[in-house]
Structure 1
């Protein structure tokens, strides 16, 4: 069923406009569809994964991945063709057909992995990553308007990306520095756990933009009262309120999963460690923490992914990051600038989630073998 839904999305995408050609970043433009040959190829690949699943489930991942590769190649080919003979400041953007086709292709790849099973395919199910990466590195997408805007921004974009990563890393580090001891303290105390988790949960209910606004006044007053704090960058706008809000947002998943993980350690294991003569510190570091770490790390992963999104909103108060391009694009109605910030932020969130999920799985396997 998933493959048929993915095929329907790809089929609709192949028939919709593929490229929007505009004389400049802001002006309205004209839509262009795929040529007949490439439209036919896209239609065939849209239906092939679902049809292949009826013949041989083991090979269904091959046409699904091929559809994804074709979508990337056609985006680069059609944007390049649209800019031939145009002025240097013309822009060729991806139209609705591209987004719908790529969404369907991604769902088809996911559906193929579910239908075949990851154990049967293994790394072969990810074969499409190599050609897609090769197309990107070889400049196949160099005419796509988002990458054109990225080249025009140059090192500024890299600086904003680095700032985004610094905000996320700093806030996550502060949340762990504050949340980890609180979780250990609250794990064995019911009242403390209720109070701490209730307070962290109340912070989560406040919208991110509202929380950033609420922190401006007290931090401004604090910087005026203690001028020395200004030398450390503490002010009503900028990095200080952004880090404060992001740290508060990340506390709940770190605290909640930490408390649950520590309480989930089997009492018999702790009693056995106590019977072996281990001190309280040794029981925690050698027994409780290793067993609780996979579940606790799941909370850290949730916090990290959450922070990637909140860091984009922090650009509104001058903290920088990829959100700078999102809001700059919104102010000027430039979709390419919005994507220049939104697409990397989405990719960054997926990458962080995959990395930490892999660490969780690795720790779970090692603990399983040790048990």
Structure 2
């Protein structure tokens, strides 16, 4: 038999390469390669790419300005020197000093890239007439940020991240690392509040369109919130069904996978006609149809369940498909009405300034529940933990009362005092163009990570643990809520985070069918070739995705028992 393995000559050559590479990378003190990458990115941007672009007006073509072309003193070269420093610092042997040095350099790169660029922009505006050719009409000169600033900020963040990795290896306290990582962003925020960055064209557009931007941001957030909540309910239900029923497993997983492959524009087009027809119907008529179909479906399910034992194997699978098809229509209509009506209600609540204070108190009351739950797990005294449990549920009950008050107010704004006979499905938010097809499409797109992760999480639960629960006399519901769900929760939460981040990006496409959200600014910027408008829509979406992922990660840490948390947490 032929022996499988590496030859001695190849092993010797490989050992020599590993030893040589270890020597080149600093021997035992492995260099910080992440910070080297950030340094290369920032250096490339500052040396080869334009830092700013000055235009005679918002739409005309401009003049790119390199870092070395800025007139005046040489203080702008500090950026180039800062970009090169991490390469040298990355080979320091003492990891703690190296980490703190890279953190400082990374924060300085983030801060000075914007500060010095703003100072250079002021200089360019003061001498703008000399930069353009004679005859150029200068009506409202603008300073645009260019690619060197983007690479400088990206390189600074990567250098900062590399330094934080060294501090993690040195077991620096997490609160210290958090403060160190926030220095640069806090300085940038202070510059924004003080007006230092008002020289840039994107800030000019922000001041002109700030009110509209705020409304579009709320719309975008509500899109993500409602579609994620609806997808979570449907996805967990389908994932649980797939994990429990092997006959439905392939059908469910393949269906959500196929939905994910449909282009968003095609899905909007498919939904346009049926939703437009549905919107013209009276609510009473549709409600009667739903009730009739539910009764027919339940009778059919009961009948098939009664005769299923006497049916051949092939007919059993077809009976399941038939009952599913009959129940699908009323359940789909109920889901569409709940999602679209819920979106209109929640959007009205967020846009109504008179309800803003109630929204804040309800949000705080809901957020306290996982925080106090986490705190209660770490209190050893039973009496104190019991009091904390009463406080937790009491505040949650008050929040639910406030939530009911907000829901009634929002629903009243949607219905607007109409009589039940006068209400159409269009009054509840269902129409061929607008928010209805967008929110339904977003809900469908959220199903794949939610269903698959729920299915994978439940399937990965050790059967021996379930058998132990049965041996202790636990009911099926107790086994699910006390054993299976807590063990599967880390994987389910990973799916929730993936779905939330993807929905933030997909929601921007909904502007094509008049659904609003931040995509309005992106499309307007594309149509007018204005990079500032594109950034004005893209930057809040990026911030929303990052903040949402961080909040879900915190929620995951609060809800999941420390004994079953993933190693990355």
Following superposition, the deviation at residue 61 of structure 1 comes to: 2.0
For residue 545 of structure 2, the aligned residue among 349, 355, 367 is 349
CA distance in 2 between counterparts of 1:325 and 1:66 reads 31
1:120 maps to 172
For residue 284 of structure 1, the aligned residue among 480, 484, 502 is 480
Contact 1:294 1:363 in 2 (8 A): no
SS at match of 1:54: coil
More displaced, 72-81 or 229-238? Answer: 72-81
1:78 maps to 120
1:17 maps to 50
For residue 209 of structure 2, the aligned residue among 117, 141, 153 is 153
Aligned residue pairs total 369
Contact 1:291 1:367 in 2 (8 A): no
Deviation readout 1:129-177 (Å, 9 max, x if unpaired): 3323322332222222112111101211100000000111111111112
Deviation readout 1:100-130 (Å, 9 max, x if unpaired): 2222222222222334436336333413333
For residue 7 of structure 1, the aligned residue among 24, 36, 39 is 39
CA distance in 1 between counterparts of 2:534 and 2:206 reads 11
For residue 169 of structure 1, the aligned residue among 208, 222, 225 is 225
CA distance in 1 between counterparts of 2:115 and 2:518 reads 26
Contact 1:328 1:337 in 2 (8 A): yes
Following superposition, the deviation at residue 224 of structure 1 comes to: 3.3
**5+ long unaligned stretches in structure 2:** 1-32, 129-137, 284-423
Is 1:106 paired with 2:157? yes
SS at match of 1:92: strand
Contact 1:75 1:144 in 2 (8 A): no
CA distance in 1 between counterparts of 2:445 and 2:255 reads 11
CA distance in 2 between counterparts of 1:302 and 1:10 reads 29
Written as runs of structure 1 = structure 2, the 5 A alignment for 1:45-64 is 45-55=82-92, 56-58=94-96, 59=100, 60-64=102-106
User: Residues 210 and 104 from structure 1, CA distance in 2 versus in 1: closer, same or farther, beyond 3 angstroms?
Assistant: same
Contact 2:433 2:514 in 1 (8 A): yes
CA distance in 2 between counterparts of 1:222 and 1:314 reads 20
SS at match of 1:191: helix
Q: Provide TM-score, normalisation by structure 1.
A: 0.92
Question: What do you get for the CA RMSD once the two structures are aligned?
Answer: 2.2
**5+ long unaligned stretches in structure 1:** none
CA distance in 2 between counterparts of 1:191 and 1:367 reads 34
CA distance in 2 between counterparts of 1:30 and 1:212 reads 41
CA distance in 2 between counterparts of 1:306 and 1:3 reads 28
Contact 1:10 1:104 in 2 (8 A): yes
2:502 maps to 306
Contact 2:105 2:156 in 1 (8 A): no
User: Residues 220 and 299 from structure 1, CA distance in 2 versus in 1: closer, same or farther, beyond 3 angstroms?
Assistant: same
Contact 1:14 1:39 in 2 (8 A): no
SS at match of 1:20: strand
CA distance in 1 between counterparts of 2:561 and 2:190 reads 33
SS at match of 2:436: helix
Q: Which of the pair has more CA radius of gyration?
A: 2
More displaced, 352-361 or 292-301? Answer: 352-361
Following superposition, the deviation at residue 236 of structure 1 comes to: 0.7
